[in-house]
C-alpha cells in the first residue's frame, strides 16, 4: 500500500484549564471533523477524571511556532537584560516593603 | 526515582505535575438526600416507576456497551463509553431506589440480573438493536430529547431521591443529546450515502417514539401525587428539539410516532430477551458467586 | 541565521547529543537522527496499537459483567485503554506520522502490537488476572518510560501510568473478592492465573542476549532498563501478591534466592514466544480482523463528517 493514507479528519491541539486561576495548558491532540466535534472529543478524552474546567481546541495547522533553529535569535537576547529582574537592584535591608 | 524499591513509587516523582492531576470533587449524588417515602405515596407504584426509568437507562446502556471496540473512530469509543457509563450510573441509582422502596431485600443487582424479560419495564426504543451507526445516533437522539425533558421536570419531584437523580441526569443527558444531534446533522448533511442511511435510520426509529408519550396508569397516579412526570406533557418540547435537529440535518417528510407498544407493562420484542441472555448469563450461572 | 560556517546537521547533532547527555527531553521540532525518529514512531505506534487491540479481550466481558458495579468499572477501564491509544497516537503524530497511516499499517498486519492480547479471555476471572498481571507488567515496563528521552512520549506515559494503577488495583480487588467466594470461583482464579502467568512474563520481550535493538535504545535513553531486569522486577513484586491472594504461580522452579536477594524462575518457552510474535497466537487473525472491520465500517461515517465540515465551511464563506 502507498504511504499516502491520511486520516479523514484534521488534527486539533487541545488545551485544558485544570482549575480556575490557572492558564490553559497544552495536553495533546486528537482527530475531529470540525471544531464542535473537537471540543466534544477533547472533553471525552482529556477530562474523564474531572481534570478540567475549560477547554480550547485549535487546528494543529493553524498553530505557528518558533523553531529550535530560532532559539538564539528569539530567546538569547533577553539573557543579558538582568536589569529586568528585581534582584538586580540593591536596596538597604532597613527599607521596608520593597 | 527509586525504581529499585518500588516500581510504582516512581510515579510520585510526577505528582507535582499539575497537568495530569486527577481532578477532585467526586461526590455521591445522593449524599444527604432523605430516603423516606411520603405517607401518601404508594410504595409499589413508586418502586415500579423507578424500575421504568431505571430499565430504560440499563437497557440503553447495554446497547451502547455493545458498540465498544466497534465505533467509527477511536474518539467516539470514548464518547459512547461515557454515555454508556452515565446511563449505567442512572440505572444503578434508580434500581437501587426501586429495591429500597420495595423493601423486599432486592438490590440493584438482584433487579438487573434476576428478573425475566416480562418484568422489565423499559420502553421498546431502548432495546432496539442498531443496524449501523446512523441507527444508534437516531435512537440516542430520540431517547435523549425525551429523557432530558423528563429528567428536567423530575427535578421538581416531591420524592427527594427522584429529584436528585433528575438533577444529576439533566447534566449528563444534555451532553448525550448534543452528541447525538451533532451526529444526526453530520450524517444527514454529509454525503449522499450518509444522508440515505440517516433517513433510513430515522424511518425505523421514529415510529417507536409513540410509546414515549403515552401515560401509564402508574405514571398518572404518581404524577397526580407530584412524584412522577406525566410523559404526555413532554411532547411539545420533544418535537421542538427534534425538528430543529432534523431541519439542520436536511431530513424532512419523516414518519410520525406509531401506536404505542407496551414495554412499560413488560411486553417486549425478542431483542430484550437477547439482551438479557447476554447480560444475565454469568450472574445466573454461578448462584452464590461474589464479584 | 549566522554566517559562521557550521553545517546545520552537526549543530543539530551536537544539540541532540547534549540533550540526551543532560537527561533533558527531545521535543518534536528538534533535530534528531533519522534512526531515532523512526525508532520512536515505530515504538509509540506499536504501543498505541497494543492499547487499542488490548480493548478487545476485556471488552468482550462488559455486557456480561456479573454485577453493575463491575460492569461500570470494566467499561471505564476499557475506555481508558482507548484513551491511552489516543494519547500515544497523538505523541506519534508530533513526529509527522499520520494516524490514518498508522492504523492502516496495523490492520494490514505491517506493524505489531503486544502479543499478549492474542490470548483468549475464557472466564470473568481473566478480567481480574489481566488487570493484576497484564496491566501490572505494563506498569513495570512503562514507569521507566515516564523518563524516556522523547518529551511527548514521556508525558503520555506519565498520564497513562497514573490511569494504569486503577486498572491493576481493580483487577486485584476482583480476584480477592472471587477468592472469598465459591470453590468454583477460586478455581476460576487459579485457572486464569495459570494461563496468563507465562504470557505476562513474555511481555517484557526477548532475553537481553537476544535483543538486538536494546543497546541503541538505551544509548538514546528511550529505554532505561533491560528486558531481563524489568522481568525480574515484575516477578519479585508479583510473588508476594500471589501469596496474599492465595494462588500458585505455575512455575515449579520459582523460588527465593537469598544469595541474589531475588527470585529464581523457570525458563520462558521462547519457541512459543516467537510463534505468537510472528502472528501465530491463538487469536491474532481475529484481533486484526475485528479492528479492520470497525475501521472499514466506520469509513462512511468519517467521510460524512468530513463532507459536512467542508460544506459548513463553504456555507460560512459564501454567507449562505
Ligand atoms: Fe493502557
Ligand atoms: Fe490498562
**In this structure, is residue A37 part of a structural domain?**
yes
**In this structure, is residue A27 part of a structural domain?**
yes
Q: Touching check for C86 and chain A: CB below 8 Å?
A: yes
Residue of A nearest to B80 (CA): A44
Count of domains for chain A: 1
- What angle do the packed helices B43-65 and B217-224 form, to 10 degrees? 120
C37-49 pLDDT per residue, tens: 999 999 999 999 9
**In this structure, is residue A15 part of a structural domain?**
yes
Percent of chain C residues topping a pLDDT of 90 = 90
How close are the terminal C-alpha atoms of chain C, in Å? 47
Mutation pick from C60, C73, C75 vs chain B, by most beta carbons of B within 10 Å, is C75
CATH number of residue A39's parent domain: 3.10.20.520
pLDDT score at B22: 55
Residue of C nearest to B250 (CA): C308
Q: Which residues surround ligand 2, an ion (CB under 5 A)?
A: C 135, 164, 167
Contacts of C244 (CB under 8 A, 6+ apart): none
Q: Touching check for B88 and chain C: CB below 8 Å?
A: yes
- Reference B78, options A47, C46, C88, A6; nearest CA is A47
pLDDT score at B122: 98
**Residues of A with Cβ-Cβ distance to C152 under 8 angstroms:** 28
Whether A58 contacts A38, CB under 8 Å: no
Q: Is the pTM of this model over 0.95?
A: no
Phi-psi region of C288 (alpha: psi -120 to 50; beta: other; left: phi over 0): alpha
User: Inter-chain contact B21–A27, Cβ cutoff 8 Å?
Assistant: no
User: Inter-chain contact A22–B18, Cβ cutoff 8 Å?
Assistant: yes
d(CA B225, CA B228): 8
User: Inter-chain contact B75–A30, Cβ cutoff 8 Å?
Assistant: yes
What's the gap in Å between the CA of A67 and the closest CA on chain B?
24
User: Inter-chain contact B190–C303, Cβ cutoff 8 Å?
Assistant: yes
CB pairs under 8 A between B and C: 181
| Ligand 2 center–CA C97 separation, angstroms | 24
Q: Touching check for B11 and chain C: CB below 8 Å?
A: yes
User: Inter-chain contact B26–A50, Cβ cutoff 8 Å?
Assistant: yes
Q: Which three cell numbers stand for residue B231?
A: 410523559
Q: Touching check for C309 and chain A: CB below 8 Å?
A: yes
**Residues of C with Cβ-Cβ distance to B95 under 8 angstroms:** 68
When pLDDT is averaged across residues C288-300 and rounded to a whole number, the result is 97
**Residues of B with Cβ-Cβ distance to C70 under 8 angstroms:** 291
Q: What share of chain A is helix, strand, coil (3-state, %, to 5)?
A: 35, 20, 45
**Residues of C with Cβ-Cβ distance to A67 under 8 angstroms:** 29
- Reference B123, options B204, B54, B194; nearest CA is B54
Q: Among A4-8, A88-92, B212-216, C37-41, where is mean pLDDT lowest? A: A4-8
When pLDDT is averaged across residues C240-245 and rounded to a whole number, the result is 97
Q: Which three cell numbers stand for residue B23?
A: 481532578
Residue of C nearest to B135 (CA): C301
Residue of B nearest to C63 (CA): B279
pLDDT score at C213: 76
User: What ipTM did this prediction achieve?
Assistant: 0.94
Which portions of chain B are predicted below pLDDT 50? 1-21
Say which residue the cell 426504543 belongs to.
B125
User: Inter-chain contact A18–B178, Cβ cutoff 8 Å?
Assistant: no
**In this structure, is residue A90 part of a structural domain?**
no
Whether C88 contacts C47, CB under 8 Å: yes
What's the gap in Å between the CA of B15 and the closest CA on chain A?
14
User: Inter-chain contact B182–A36, Cβ cutoff 8 Å?
Assistant: yes
| Ligand 2 center–CA C160 separation, angstroms | 8
User: Inter-chain contact A50–B79, Cβ cutoff 8 Å?
Assistant: no
Residue C253, judged by CB atoms within 10 A of its CB (0-12, 13-18, 19+), counts as exposed
Which 8-state DSSP code applies to residue A98? -
**In this structure, is residue A46 part of a structural domain?**
yes
Q: Which CATH class is domain B42-285?
A: mainly alpha
d(CA C229, CA B59): 48
pLDDT score at A3: 55
Whether A11 contacts C86, CB under 8 Å: no
**In this structure, is residue A42 part of a structural domain?**
yes
Q: Touching check for B108 and chain C: CB below 8 Å?
A: yes
pLDDT score at B148: 98
User: Inter-chain contact C312–A31, Cβ cutoff 8 Å?
Assistant: no
Mean pLDDT (chain C) is 94
Give me the residue spans of the domains in chain B. 42-285
User: Inter-chain contact C90–A29, Cβ cutoff 8 Å?
Assistant: yes
**Residues of C with Cβ-Cβ distance to B92 under 8 angstroms:** 68-69, 72
| Ligand 2 center–CA C213 separation, angstroms | 26
User: Inter-chain contact C66–B77, Cβ cutoff 8 Å?
Assistant: no
When pLDDT is averaged across residues C106-115 and rounded to a whole number, the result is 94
d(CA B127, CA B139): 10
Mutation pick from A1, A2, A4, A7 vs chain C, by most beta carbons of C within 10 Å, is A7
**In this structure, is residue A41 part of a structural domain?**
yes
**In this structure, is residue A91 part of a structural domain?**
no
When pLDDT is averaged across residues C82-95 and rounded to a whole number, the result is 97
The three-state secondary structure class of A52 is coil
| Ligand 2 center–CA C158 separation, angstroms | 13
Subunits with 3+ C-beta pairs closer than 8 A to B: A, C
The parent domain of residue A13 ranges over 8-63
The three-state secondary structure class of B165 is helix
pLDDT score at A75: 82
Say what the alpha-carbon torsion angle C38, C39, C44, C46 is, to the nearest 10 degrees: 100
The sign of the CA dihedral A69, A72, A73, A76 is: positive
**Residues of C with Cβ-Cβ distance to B22 under 8 angstroms:** 162
**Residues of A with Cβ-Cβ distance to B75 under 8 angstroms:** 30-32, 37, 41, 44-45
| Ligand 1 center–CA C129 separation, angstroms | 15
d(CA C89, CA C49): 9
d(CA B272, CA B120): 9
Amino acid at each position: 500500500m502507498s504511504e499516502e493514507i491520511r486520516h479523514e479528519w484534521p488534527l486539533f491541539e487541545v488545551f485544558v484549564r485544570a482549575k480556575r486561576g490557572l492558564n490553559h495548558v497544552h495536553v495533546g491532540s486528537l482527530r475531529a471533523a470540525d471544531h464542535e466535534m473537537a471540543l466534544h472529543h477533547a472533553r471525552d478524552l482529556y477530562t474523564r477524571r474531572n481534570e478540567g474546567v475549560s477547554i480550547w481546541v485549535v487546528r494543529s495547522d493553524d498553530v505557528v511556532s518558533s523553531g529550535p533553529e530560532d532559539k538564539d535569535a528569539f530567546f538569547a537576547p533577553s539573557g543579558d537584560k538582568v536589569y529586568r529582574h528585581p534582584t538586580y537592584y540593591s536596596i538597604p535591608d532597613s527599607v521596608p516593603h520593597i | 526515582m527509586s525504581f529499585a524499591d518500588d516500581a510504582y513509587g516512581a510515579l510520585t516523582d510526577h505528582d507535582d505535575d499539575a497537568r495530569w492531576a486527577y481532578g477532585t470533587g467526586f461526590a455521591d449524588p445522593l449524599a444527604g438526600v432523605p430516603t423516606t417515602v411520603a405517607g401518601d405515596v404508594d410504595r409499589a407504584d413508586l418502586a415500579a416507576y423507578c424500575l421504568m426509568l431505571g430499565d430504560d437507562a440499563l437497557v440503553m446502556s447495554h446497547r451502547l456497551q455493545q458498540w465498544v471496540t466497534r465505533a467509527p473512530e477511536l474518539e467516539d469509543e470514548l464518547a459512547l463509553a461515557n454515555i454508556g457509563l452515565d446511563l449505567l450510573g442512572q440505572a444503578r441509582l434508580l434500581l437501587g431506589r426501586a429495591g429500597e422502596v420495595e423493601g423486599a431485600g432486592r438490590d440493584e443487582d438482584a433487579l438487573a440480573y434476576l428478573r425475566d424479560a416480562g418484568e422489565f419495564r423499559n420502553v421498546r426504543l431502548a432495546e432496539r438493536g442498531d443496524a449501523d451507526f446512523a441507527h444508534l445516533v437516531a435512537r440516542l437522539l430520540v431517547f435523549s430529547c425525551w429523557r432530558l425533558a423528563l429528567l428536567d421536570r423530575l427535578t421538581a419531584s416531591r420524592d427527594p431521591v427522584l429529584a436528585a437523580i433528575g438533577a444529576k441526569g439533566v447534566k449528563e443527558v444534555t451532553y448525550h443529546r448534543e452528541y447525538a444531534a451533532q451526529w444526526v446533522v453530520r450524517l444527514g448533511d454529509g454525503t449522499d450515502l450518509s444522508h440515505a442511511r440517516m433517513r433510513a435510520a430515522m424511518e425505523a426509529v421514529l415510529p417507536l417514539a409513540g410509546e414515549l408519550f403515552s401515560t401509564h396508569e402508574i405514571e398518572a397516579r404518581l404524577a397526580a401525587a407530584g412524584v412522577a412526570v406525566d410523559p404526555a406533557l413532554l411532547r411539545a418540547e420533544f418535537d421542538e428539539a427534534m425538528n430543529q435537529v432534523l431541519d439542520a440535518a436536511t431530513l424532512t417528510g419523516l414518519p410520525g410516532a406509531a401506536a404505542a407498544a407496551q414495554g412499560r407493562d413488560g411486553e417486549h420484542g425478542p431483542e430484550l430477551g437477547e439482551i438479557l441472555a447476554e447480560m444475565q448469563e454469568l450472574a445466573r450461572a454461578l448462584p452464590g458467586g461474589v464479584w | 541565521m549566522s554566517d559562521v560556517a557550521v553545517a546545520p546537521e552537526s549543530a543539530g547533532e551536537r544539540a541532540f547529543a547534549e540533550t540526551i547527555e543532560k537527561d533533558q527531553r527531545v521535543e518534536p521540532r528538534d533535530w534528531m537522527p533519522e534512526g531515532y525518529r523512526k525508532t520512536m514512531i515505530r515504538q509509540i505506534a506499536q504501543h498505541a496499537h497494543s492499547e487499542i487491540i488490548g480493548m478487545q479481550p476485556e471488552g468482550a466481558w462488559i455486557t456480561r459483567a456479573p454485577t453493575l458495579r463491575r460492569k461500570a468499572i470494566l467499561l471505564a477501564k476499557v475506555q481508558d485503554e482507548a484513551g491511552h491509544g489516543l494519547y500515544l497516537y497523538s505523541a506519534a503524530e508530533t513526529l509527522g506520522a499520520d494516524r490514518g497511516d498508522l492504523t492502516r499499517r496495523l490492520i494490514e498486519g505491517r506493524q505489531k502490537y503486544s502479543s499478549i492480547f492474542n490470548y483468549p479471555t475464557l472466564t470473568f476471572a481473566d478480567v481480574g488476572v489481566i488487570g493484576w498481571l497484564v496491566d501490572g507488567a505494563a506498569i513495570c515496563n512503562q514507569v521507566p518510560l515516564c523518563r524516556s528521552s522523547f518529551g511527548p512520549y514521556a508525558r503520555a506515559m506519565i498520564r497513562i501510568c497514573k490511569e494504569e494503577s486503577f486498572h491493576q488495583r481493580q483487577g486485584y480487588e476482583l480476584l480477592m473478592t472471587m477468592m472469598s467466594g465459591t470453590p468454583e470461583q477460586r478455581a476460576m482464579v487459579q485457572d486464569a492465573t495459570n494461563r496468563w502467568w507465562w504470557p505476562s512474563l513474555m511481555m517484557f520481550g526477548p532475553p537481553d542476549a537476544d535483543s538486538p535493538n536494546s543497546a541503541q535504545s538505551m544509548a538514546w535513553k528511550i529505554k532505561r532498563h533491560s528486558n531481563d531486569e524489568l522481568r525480574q522486577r515484575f516477578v519479585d513484586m508479583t510473588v508476594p501478591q500471589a501469596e496474599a491472594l492465595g494462588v500458585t504461580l505455575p512455575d515449579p522452579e520459582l523460588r527465593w534466592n537469598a544469595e541474589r536477594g531475588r527470585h529464581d524462575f523457570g525458563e520462558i518457552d521462547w519457541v512459543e514466544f516467537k510463534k505468537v510474535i510472528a502472528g501465530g497466537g491463538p487469536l491474532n487473525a481475529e484481533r486484526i480482523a475485528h479492528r479492520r472491520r470497525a475501521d472499514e465500517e466506520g469509513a462512511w461515517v468519517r467521510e460524512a463528517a468530513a463532507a459536512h465540515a467542508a460544506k459548513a465551511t463553504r456555507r460560512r464563506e459564501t454567507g449562505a
